[in-house]
Amino acid sequence: MKLVVGLGNPGPRYAKTRHNVGFLVVDELARAGGFPEWREKFAGEFTKGRISLDGHAEDVVLLKPQTYMNDSGRSVQPAIAFFHVAPQGGAELLVVHDELDLPFADVRLKVGGGHAGHNGLRSIIGALGADFARVRVGIGRPPPDFRGEVADFVLQDFDPVESASIGDVVSRSVQAVRRWIAKGPLAANETNARGRKKG
């Protein structure tokens, strides 16, 4: 059993913001995989299905915490317990999140590490420890002329240029998740080689 958590904030106000790219990725995983309708549980929304990879099928749970970002661990922890998923080692739990420290459209896979100021990761690390897999979806840092705090930037909608390519970014992120489902942490080298923005 694999658990893939997409991080974001609930409600239409945040649906197209940079901070919600984790939701976009798991939504696309569910759509492309023909998963059942999302259901409410674990202070979030989840769906469970099977993803066929390399000649075999893997049971996968997708989870979108509905706690708001800062309290994501309160959703992930009961889901881990219910589905008997090992949170450590990077083989059974993957968190998809926006990453300020990567240029927009870069996609990377890693296991473990700190939260780098990301409050969703901070909450999950506080609940479970840090040794889980992450797909880091680059959103870049605010431009020099941005007026406001970093928190304002991540809670803004993607700009028109970003919006034009976010579908490709989500598709590459989905492929990174699928590689992790098939290969676990060993997928990192392949994902990171392919995950840089083209052009």
Predicted confidence (pLDDT) per residue in 107-150, tens digit: 999 999 999 999 999 999 999 999 999 999 999 999 999 989 99
What local confidence, expressed as pLDDT, does residue 70 receive? 96
Q: How confident is the model at residue 195 (pLDDT cuts 50, 70, 90)?
A: low
Q: Helix, strand, or coil here: 23?
A: helix
Pairing of strands 2-6, 107-111: unpaired
For 111, the 3-state DSSP assignment is: strand
What is the rounded average pLDDT of the residues 165-170? Answer: 97
Q: Is the pLDDT of residue 199 over 50?
A: no
pLDDT reading at 51 higher than 90: yes
Structure token pair of residue 106: 């870069």
Q: Chain centroid to CA 191: how far?
A: 14
Report strand pairing: 2-6 vs 56-65: parallel
Instruction: Examine the pLDDT at 28 and tell me if it is beyond 90.
Output: yes
Q: What's the whole-number mean pLDDT along residues 159-173?
A: 96
Provide the edge-to-edge strand list for the sheet that holds 107-111: 39-41, 44-53, 56-65, 2-6, 93-99, 133-138, 107-111
Query: Do the Cβ atoms of 72 and 123 come closer than 8 Å?
Result: yes
Output the pTM of the full model: 0.95
Mean pLDDT of 23-31: 98
- Give domain 2-194's CATH number out of 3.40.50.1470, 3.40.50.880, 3.90.1150.30, 3.40.50.2300: 3.40.50.1470
Q: Which residues are catalytic?
A: 19
pLDDT of 197: 64
Helix (H) or strand (E) holding 6: strand 2-6
Q: Does the pLDDT of residue 178 top 80, yes or no?
A: yes
